[in-house]
């Protein structure tokens, strides 16, 4: 079955520290990959997406992610955390063909300490 | 266009009552999706429309749930005889697609349903 695994339901970093949020997908065929951010009581906002072009994808707010086929991973990073980055982050996959739905991971709640 | 709009934002209902939610997608988007998100979980796919046609439904969408998109624009999601387990955030998303293209899905702010 198609699935997405996010390691670490809670991640805490200090302001200015590196942010690393992990995402692994299950598939032998590279899917489309996305990272979304969700602030409390809000919908989801797209951070970045991978659609088989460059393996290093840059997104909004200084985030980037690298697609690694050999590791079936799409980890999200940001060199320096800001207080405003505190939110929940979801990795999602969309497989090609007739399936248009997104399959989401369970999310990682990022806390940023001053 | 201000994005995907959902109404109401919050709904409290008694068990056994029917509720209906509305989603207005981005105007030029032909694809519309409904997802359900429970506390501490990622969104789970419920159903998908391309224009007015409902092309995919999840097993999560029991007989008590029905979704429509009558003119290929706005959509409604109705839950009949609500149960406490239906309490969740219901998210609507839209995208532009077809002919081999795939654009990202834009999400609304959701409708939070509480069944008491």
Specify whether the CB–CB gap between A13 and A21 falls below 8 A: no
- The mean predicted confidence, pLDDT, of chain B is 92
**Inter-CA distances, A29 with A23, A39, A43, Å:** 16, 31, 29
DSSP A93: E
* Chain A environment of B49 (Cβ under 8 Å): none
Q: Which CB contacts under 8 angstroms, 24+ apart, belong to B68-71?
A: B69/B32
Whether the per-residue pLDDT at A35 is higher than 60: the answer is yes
CB-CB under 8 Å, B110 with A90: no
CA-nearest residue of chain B to A107? B42
In tens, the pLDDT along B3-57 reads: 999 999 999 999 999 999 999 999 989 999 999 999 889 999 999 999 999 998 9
Specify whether the CB–CB gap between B84 and B34 falls below 8 A: no
Classify burial at B87, counting beta carbons within 10 Å of its beta carbon; exposed 0-12, middle 13-18, buried 19 or more: middle
The answer for A 35-74 residues in CB contact with B (under 8 A) is 36, 41-46, 49, 51
Mutant choice from B3, B40, B41, B42 vs A, greatest count of A C-beta within 10 A: B42
In tens, the pLDDT along A14-28 reads: 999 999 999 999 876
Q: Are strands A56-58 and A64-68 parallel, antiparallel or unpaired?
A: antiparallel
Bridge partners, residue A92, by sequence: A34, A104
pLDDT at A19: 97
Give B43→chain A minimum CA distance, Å. Answer: 6
Specify whether the CB–CB gap between A79 and A20 falls below 8 A: no
Specify whether the CB–CB gap between A63 and A50 falls below 8 A: no
Across A2-11, average pLDDT = 91
Mutant choice from B33, B55, B105 vs A, greatest count of A C-beta within 10 A: B105
Q: E strands, A1-114, where? A: 4-5, 10-14, 19-21, 24-25, 32-38, 44-50, 56-58, 64-68, 73-78, 87-94, 103-104, 108-113
In tens, the pLDDT along B75-93 reads: 999 999 999 999 999 999 9
Give A108→chain B minimum CA distance, Å. Answer: 9
Whether the per-residue pLDDT at A72 is higher than 60: the answer is yes
Identify which of B42, B95, B105 has the shortest CB distance to residue A90.
B42
Mutant choice from B31, B39, B43, B113 vs A, greatest count of A C-beta within 10 A: B43
Whether the per-residue pLDDT at A78 is higher than 70: the answer is yes
* Chain B environment of A30 (Cβ under 8 Å): none
Specify whether the CB–CB gap between A18 and A81 falls below 8 A: yes
B105 at A interface, C-beta within 8 A: yes
More confident residue, B71 or B77: B77
Q: Give the Cα separation of A48 and A34 in Å (integer).
A: 6
């Amino acid at each position: 079955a198609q699935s997405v695994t996010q390691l670490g339901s809670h991640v805490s970093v200090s302001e200015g520290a590196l942010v690393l949020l992990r995402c692994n997908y299950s598939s032998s065929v590279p899917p489309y990959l996305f990272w979304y951010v969700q602030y409390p009581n809000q919908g989801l906002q797209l951070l970045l997406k991978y659609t088989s072009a460059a393996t290093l994808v840059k997104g909004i707010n200084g985030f980037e992610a690298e697609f690694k086929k050999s590791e079936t991973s799409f980890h999200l990073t940001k060199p320096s955390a800001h207080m405003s980055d505190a939110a929940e982050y979801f990795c999602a996959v969309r497989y090609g063909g007739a399936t248009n739905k997104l399959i989401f991971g369970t999310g990682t709640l990022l806390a940023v300490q001053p | 266009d201000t994005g995907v709009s959902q109404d109401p934002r919050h709904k409290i209902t008694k068990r056994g009552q029917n509720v209906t939610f509305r989603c207005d997608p981005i105007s030029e988007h032909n694809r519309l999706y409904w997802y359900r998100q429970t506390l501490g979980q990622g969104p789970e796919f419920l159903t998908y429309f391309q224009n007015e046609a409902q092309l995919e439904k999840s097993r999560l969408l029991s007989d008590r749930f029905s979704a429509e998109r009558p003119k290929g624009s706005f959509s409604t999601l109705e839950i009949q005889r609500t149960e406490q387990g239906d309490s969740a955030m219901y998210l609507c998303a839209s995208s532009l697609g077809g002919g081999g293209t795939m654009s990202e899905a834009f999400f609304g702010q959701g409708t939070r349903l509480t069944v008491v």
